[in-house]
Amino acid sequence: MMNQIGLIGIGVMGSNLALNLSDKNFKVKVFNNSDEKIQNLIQKDKNNNIEGFNTIKELIKNLEKPRNLLLLVPSGAPTFEVSKTLLELMEKGDFLIDAGNSYFEDSITLGKLCKDKDVSFIGMGVSGGEVGARTGPALMIGSENQIPDELKFLFDSIAAKKDSVPCSGYYKGAGTGHFIKMIHNGIEYAEMQILAEAYSILKFSNFSNFEASEFFSNLSNNNQSSYLIEITSKILKKEVKENYIIDKIDSVANHKGTGKLTIETSLEHGFPVPSIYSAFNARVESHYQKLFSLDVDKLDNQIDISKLNSAIYFSRLSSLLQGLLFIEFLSERNSYKIMTKNILSNWAAGCIIRSELLAELSNNCDKKGMLDKNKVQNLLNLYLEDTKDVIRQAINSNIPLHVITSSLNWYLNLSSNTNPSNLIQAQRDYFGAHKVKLIGSEDFLHIDWD
């Protein structure tokens, strides 16, 4: 029975995964060129299952065949560099498992490099941050190769559990695991921004930080429990030296690019994910405060919290749907054969976007495990009018709602058989002779506009 694994990259995620593996009685052989880092990790390991090596060659030599090597180094060039070194030493039947935040196209490329060396490749998205890695992440596992039961047992052992079911999803394709993780991160951006917009509304409705915190903790009691809502409530009431720390934090948000990749990929494939885009854009705009010198003051808002609850639900559902529909679109196009119901189960625990909404959406899938668009539309419609009221009020109070407004526009536009793009066609044909397609015809023709 295989009970050991090699691990390269003992940063935050790597060291916590190593400790998680050790807790589950797997022998973990780690590489790091710093003996101090290795010792620091070994000291935390109460089960004495972690062993360190200062060269990759030593590590490879001390791993039983077929070897399983877990990579947790920064995505992009570092991942490729370490992989190429490993592939010179690995042998047929070994598994290289990239568990970094790699771009899925890179995982497809790395899968090919491994195949050339008769090494099997797994691209694994890991979600749940530091705590998740330590106690149970959600694992999104993509591979062209058949994954041995022993390796599946290892992944299932360290993964988060929902009602004792491991949150480890297995998908065909070297890049599919990282593709699904990328979409997860896009949805994560949107969820975080929706909560920030709700916090903004509460703030300009004269809620204190503590009252706002209470609002978010009460959301959990109104069918909206989620990890991000939970931590938002805790963050808002966190005091340091009798001051709310949230009031001391600068209003600028950064990113490591994971959500940006979702948008770039959606633009490349011409698939709409406007709520995810708006969330990313809000982070970018946060660096351009006071571009204009004249302050447009926020006016007092009198929010109806049950309507705000609805607007949060509507926008969260819209953002989640955009991500899942994009996966369905690309799965269809690339014959990934991904079932949405499996993704919702994969994300049921451990990951950053875990929430009750995922289970609710799972109940709105069809017999094939894909989204039932009629059922889902009925859900959205339940919250539509309240969402519009919240947006109306925010507009009157000069409060920008990037994602909540974008979610409404997305839904209204995709629930209508008319939109003003006929004029766009005409304008393009007028100045660029790009031709127009008439209703009921597949042909394009140029209009003589004079």
Active site residues per annotation: 181, 188
- Report the site for ligand 6PG in 186-245 (rule: CB under 6 A): 188
Contact assessment for residue 75 and residue 106, using Cβ atoms and an 8 Å cutoff: yes
| Residue closer to ligand 6PG, measured from CB, 258 or 331 | 258
DSSP E strands in 350-443: the ranges are 436-437
Binding of residue 400 to ligand 6PG (CB under 6 A) = no
- Determine the Cα–Cα distance for residues 310 and 394; give it in Å rounded to an integer: 14
Binding of residue 139 to ligand 6PG (CB under 6 A) = no
| Residue closer to ligand 6PG, measured from CB, 224 or 258 | 258
What stretches of 48-96 show up as alpha helix (H) in DSSP? 56-61, 77-89
Nearest to 324 by CA among 184, 226, 194: 184
CB of 220 to ligand 6PG, least distance (A): 20
| Residue closer to ligand 6PG, measured from CB, 49 or 266 | 266
- Determine the Cα–Cα distance for residues 205 and 301; give it in Å rounded to an integer: 5
Determine the straight-line distance between the first and last CA of the chain, rounded to whole angstroms: 79
Query: In Å, how far are 197, 226, 282, 313, 347 from 352, measured between CA atoms?
Result: 19, 9, 20, 17, 8
- Determine the Cα–Cα distance for residues 138 and 125; give it in Å rounded to an integer: 8
Binding of residue 351 to ligand 6PG (CB under 6 A) = yes
- Report the site for ligand 6PG in 234-263 (rule: CB under 6 A): 255-256, 258-259
CB of 284 to ligand 6PG, least distance (A): 12
**Which region, judged by CB under 6 A, interacts with ligand 6PG, from 4-12, 110-118, 121-129, 407-415?**
121-129
CB of 308 to ligand 6PG, least distance (A): 24
CB of 16 to ligand 6PG, least distance (A): 11
Q: Which residue has the tokens 């990759």?
A: 56
| Residue closer to ligand 6PG, measured from CB, 322 or 393 | 322
Residue choice 352, 357, 358, 404 for contact with ligand 6PG (CB under 6 A):
352
CB of 350 to ligand 6PG, least distance (A): 9
Residue choice 74, 129, 148, 369 for contact with ligand 6PG (CB under 6 A):
129
Nearest to 365 by CA among 383, 337, 335, 344: 344
- Report the site for ligand 6PG in 23-82 (rule: CB under 6 A): none
Give the number of residues written for the chain. Answer: 450
Residue choice 123, 128, 166, 169 for contact with ligand 6PG (CB under 6 A):
128
**Which region, judged by CB under 6 A, interacts with ligand 6PG, from 126-134, 141-149, 164-172, 324-332?**
126-134
- Determine the Cα–Cα distance for residues 13 and 27; give it in Å rounded to an integer: 17
Which residues 6+ apart lie within 8 Å of 66 measured at CB?
A: 2, 91, 93, 94, 95, 148
On the CB side of 163, CA atoms within 13 Å amount to 5
**Which region, judged by CB under 6 A, interacts with ligand 6PG, from 24-32, 63-71, 125-133, 210-218?**
125-133
CB of 140 to ligand 6PG, least distance (A): 10
> CA angle at residue 402 from 233 to 200, to 5 degrees?
35
Size of the site for ligand 6PG (CB under 6 A): 12
Binding of residue 101 to ligand 6PG (CB under 6 A) = yes
Residue choice 49, 120, 176, 185 for contact with ligand 6PG (CB under 6 A):
185
| Residue closer to ligand 6PG, measured from CB, 95 or 189 | 189
Nearest to 6 by CA among 133, 144, 107, 98: 98
Nearest to 59 by CA among 91, 94, 86: 86
Binding of residue 287 to ligand 6PG (CB under 6 A) = no
The footprint of ligand 6PG (CB under 6 A) covers 101, 127-129, 185, 188, 255-256, 258-259, 351-352
